[in-house]
Structure 1
């Protein structure tokens, strides 16, 4: 069966390889062929902020709460005067760039990064399905050895927007703005706004912890 309707009333589902639900009309739909999700209402989370995966320059782990900058396409600890991209976050509610299910170049894309699609015929049902076109350079061996970014030390979730935990020094108080010094927030005339401190500065640890708004 290439279509599934769950917990619903008075809806029909035309697209193959989809799961959907709703009352009187479709309110949510998951597309198994393309991996897309569509919702009529809000997507909610108890976490906060938006994050995206970035790879570290060194290939090593960067500790949570470290403010980072970009070097090319990769990240490293931010210093005074650096562009503050974001902070290594463990609490982002919405995360992109995870490449969870396969090599990022598994499918062919156009010059703007959008998928190139093709129509294929399902051998069991005879239905025509529109799917992303496979990259001929993606071998079965390459896919078999693939490990998701979440499991690799060099890939990090960088909080880019919203409220996130940030390492700070002893100069920072609630209501201050912060900039970066060796990856740690320090009081500044402008920058990210500190909402509150969740841990006071400790000379033993070398940092305190604040919740700051990144935007």
Structure 2
């Protein structure tokens, strides 16, 4: 029954205190001004608060405090100004916040925690995905309202105008003016967008920097205005595009041109083959070009310009006749396709064993010479091979089906044997055939004169032969071979 202050403890063991208060739940308490409890064990305090709004039938053991705070679910808690906690065990605090999902938490100003176990904080943020988290919000630099939104389950949005809509996604950063460009958006499962107005729309993709776009699954775009649209691709730098699967573009205005596995760097250029490497060097965006390249189909490398080695001669690798090492600085000759130290009886001189070659031919430095089948001219035989698509355990496409031209393996190749490159084997020597070379001599050779090998393969003075340009020691000279 109401008393002179219109306090009305209407339910069993309830308590109403203050003015115009109503305690309508068993063992509930209403205190302050125009507060009300509508369910058992509820507590309302302050001004115009309601613990258990009566429409949903919930609100047992809930708590509303402040002004115009309302709880509508069991064990909910609303505090502050015009807050609403309508989910079981939800908590809303601050100004005009709403905790709608069960066990959710909204705090700050005008935030909404709509998902189960969601958390919204800051100003104007919305966490609608289960176990999602939205924070930040408020105004962008142009003073436009730019709330953050976490709508994906277990997602996280923070900063200004960010959106995390993918499962387990993360968006952070912001935008200068949301009217023209939203903040970072993480739109797919496990994606991550950060920085200024970035987008990650591929599964587990990552976009960072400013205005970058990671469209491909597992792709990464970073820097400014870059796009990574191929699966597991990477674009970095300025205005680059990695649109081939597991391709990589970097530098400025480079593109992988949809070629899988291509890598391009530099400026203003386009890849021309899959699984190959390029240095772009176009003068501008219209006049595009390549300065250097290595092509997977042939193994050929090209450079638009000069190749400047540190060595002094062109050499080829040759094996010795007796299988033993030949030291540097000796004249050598051929016996069939192998070499020995030359003598004064040899009419033909192949060259000089070189200590500092600039270029080495016949190297076979990367693999056994007969690892792949070859035709009668020594060309590697290739065949068309279909590489099947690859999926992970969850059915996610990792690599698309691809048709490649691959070399045919030699059945005699023994995979159990570790290959040792010729340059590291003592029986092979680099024989300088063109260029400047140091050679051993018997002390008789004259600068500006000529020399030929003596009986021990060392230089000796001669009326004709190889030009001597310098003496570097009592038994060493420098000659020209051409």
> TM-score under structure 1 normalisation?
0.89
What is the deviation of 1:33? 5.0
Matched, 1:3 2:262: yes
Matched, 1:184 2:442: no
What is the deviation of 1:184? 0.3
Q: 1:95, 1:119 → 2: CA distance?
A: 32
Q: 2:303, 2:406 → 1: CA distance?
A: 21
What is the deviation of 1:133? 2.3
**What RMSD in Å do the two structures reach over aligned CA positions?**
1.5
Contact 1:16 1:129 in 2 (8 A): no
SS of 2:267's partner is coil
Q: Which moves more between the two structures, 22-31 or 89-98?
A: 22-31
Q: 1:161, 1:172 → 2: CA distance?
A: 20
Matched, 1:15 2:277: no
SS of 1:93's partner is strand
Structure 2: gaps (5+ residues): 1-245, 247-260, 283-287, 389-398
What is the deviation of 1:119? 2.2
Matched, 1:41 2:301: no
Q: 2:289, 2:406 → 1: CA distance?
A: 25
What is the deviation of 1:76? 0.7
Residue correspondence of structure 1 range 49-128 to structure 2 within 5 A = 49-82=313-346, 83-123=348-388, 124-128=399-403
Between 1 and 2, higher relative CO (CA 8 Å, sep ≥ 6) is seen in 1
Runs of 4+ in 1 over 6 A off after TM superposition: none
> TM-score under structure 2 normalisation?
0.41
Choose the corresponding residue for 2:415, options 140, 154, 164: 140
SS of 1:150's partner is helix
Aligned to 2:477: 210
Larger Cα-atom Rg: 2
SS of 2:459's partner is strand
Aligned to 1:204: none
SS of 1:87's partner is strand
Structure 1: gaps (5+ residues): 201-207
Q: 2:386, 2:479 → 1: CA distance?
A: 51
Aligned to 2:429: 156
Q: 2:329, 2:323 → 1: CA distance?
A: 18
Classify 1:12/1:176 alpha carbon distance in 2 versus 1 (closer, same or farther; 3 Å).
same
Contact 1:61 1:153 in 2 (8 A): yes
Contact 1:55 1:74 in 2 (8 A): yes
Q: 1:154, 1:58 → 2: CA distance?
A: 8
Q: 2:414, 2:381 → 1: CA distance?
A: 18
Q: 1:179, 1:34 → 2: CA distance?
A: 41
What is the deviation of 1:128? 2.3
Classify 1:131/1:195 alpha carbon distance in 2 versus 1 (closer, same or farther; 3 Å).
farther
Instruction: Report how many aligned residue pairs link the two structures.
Output: 205
Aligned to 2:10: none
Q: Deviations over 1:68-109 (max 9, x none)?
A: 111111111100131111111011101111111111111222
Q: Deviations over 1:97-155 (max 9, x none)?
A: 111111111122221212222222334442322233221211312xx322111111101
Q: 2:437, 2:265 → 1: CA distance?
A: 36
Aligned to 1:193: 467
